[in-house]
């Protein structure tokens, strides 16, 4: 896949400015990263953040970033250099096969428990795992933390970012499953609810609690009276046409 092709997977309905990077792990695997915007702008995931979190959630160590253009000097790129000691390579003609991000169907409860071991949560010590159940297999996610708290992602957003960057048709997602090892009651945080409602507005959400119980909800019920992205999209389109 080329970086130009990968850019088409970006979700940028508000800015119209797609972006993509490909991240190579120490073992030589290649992971995609694309810009994923949200109607709540601070929740937008940059292409770099997307790729780093996907790679780390797979239990891999990021070492090299491939880009079409030189990295910006906005401070955010400097953070990843300091945090991960990444090597950058500008390769407009990059074209290699990416590693698969969908796994075969498995016992979801056991899979969620195993995934907790991949959580990178040295600051909170609160591992969380998520699975998106699709018609073609499972897309996993765990919470990933960095020294800059806002640079990490919760397990739910990791899984959604992985699905989007991996080119998964979101309409093929049948359900979202969430599990935590600690706490009396597992539940998505407010930020994750905002992202879920934008990308997966009408799917069942199964919450596997630490005591072994299970509760079922619908994503549309997680954030009542939410501000819909269509409202802003229409307003932005009207402004562009003026």
**What mean pLDDT do residues 148-154 have?**
90
Domains identified in the chain and CATH numbers: 3-90 (3.40.140.10), 108-222 (3.40.140.10)
Stated pTM of the model: 0.91
Does position 73 have pLDDT exceeding 60, yes or no? no
Residues 52 and 225: their CA atoms lie apart, in Å, by 33
Does position 239 have pLDDT exceeding 60, yes or no? no
| pLDDT for 80 | 81
SS3 of the chain: CEHHHHHCCCECCCCCCCCEEEEEECCCCEEEEECECCCCHHHCECHHHHHHHHHHHCCCCEEEEEECCCCCCCCHHHHHHHHHCCEEEECCCCECCCCCCCECCCCHHHHHHHHHHHCECCCCCCCEEEEEEECCEEEEEECECCCCHHHCECHHHHHHHHHHHCCCCHHHEEEEEEEECCCCCCCCCHHHHHHHHHHCCCCEEEEECCCCCEEEEEHHHHCCCCCCHHHHHHHHHHHHHC
Other beta carbons within 10 angstroms of residue 29's beta carbon come to 14
| pLDDT for 49 | 94
229: pLDDT confidence band, cut at 50, 70 and 90?
A: low
Does position 238 have pLDDT exceeding 60, yes or no? no
**What mean pLDDT do residues 74-94 have?**
81
226: pLDDT confidence band, cut at 50, 70 and 90?
A: confident
**What mean pLDDT do residues 83-89 have?**
88
**What mean pLDDT do residues 64-84 have?**
78
> Could you identify the residue written with the tokens 């997307």?
50
The first and second tokens of residue 36, run together, are 């994923």
Does position 20 have pLDDT exceeding 60, yes or no? yes
| pLDDT for 145 | 94
Selected residue with higher pLDDT from 137 and 185: 137
- Of 93, 104, 158, whose CA–CA distance to 133 is shortest? 104
Out of 97, 156, 184, 198, the active site residue is 156
Reply yes or no on whether 83 is catalytic: no
Are the C-beta atoms of 33 and 52 separated by less than 8 Å? yes
162: pLDDT confidence band, cut at 50, 70 and 90?
A: very high
Q: Strand 87-90 vs strand 62-67: parallel, antiparallel, or unpaired?
A: parallel
**What mean pLDDT do residues 209-232 have?**
81
70: pLDDT confidence band, cut at 50, 70 and 90?
A: confident
Percent of the chain clearing pLDDT 70 (strictly above): 90
């Amino acid at each position: 896949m080329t970086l130009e092709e990968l850019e088409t997977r970006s979700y940028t309905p508000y800015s119209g400015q797609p972006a993509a990077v490909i991240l190579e792990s120490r073992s030589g695997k290649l992971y995609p990263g694309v810009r994923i915007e949200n109607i709540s702008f601070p929740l937008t995931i940059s292409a770099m953040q997307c790729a780093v979190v996907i790679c780390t959630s797979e239990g891999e160590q990021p070492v090299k970033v491939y880009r079409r253009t030189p990295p910006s000097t906005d401070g955010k790129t400097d953070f990843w250099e300091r945090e991960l000691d990444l090597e950058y390579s500008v390769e407009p003609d990059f074209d290699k096969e990416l590693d698969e991000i969908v796994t075969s169907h498995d016992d979801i409860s056991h899979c969620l428990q195993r995934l907790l071991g991949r959580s990178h949560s040295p600051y909170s010590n609160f591992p969380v795992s998520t699975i998106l159940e699709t018609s073609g297999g499972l897309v996993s996610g765990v919470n990933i933390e960095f020294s800059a708290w806002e640079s990490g992602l919760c397990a739910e957003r990791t899984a959604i970012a992985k699905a989007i960057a991996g080119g998964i048709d979101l309409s093929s997602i049948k359900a979202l499953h969430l599990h935590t090892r600690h706490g009396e009651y597992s539940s998505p945080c407010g930020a994750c609810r905002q992202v879920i409602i934008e990308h997966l507005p009408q799917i069942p959400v199964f919450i596997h609690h630490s005591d072994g119980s299970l509760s079922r909800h619908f994503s549309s019920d997680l954030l009542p009276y939410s501000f819909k992205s269509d409202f802003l999209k229409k307003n932005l389109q009207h402004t562009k046409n003026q």
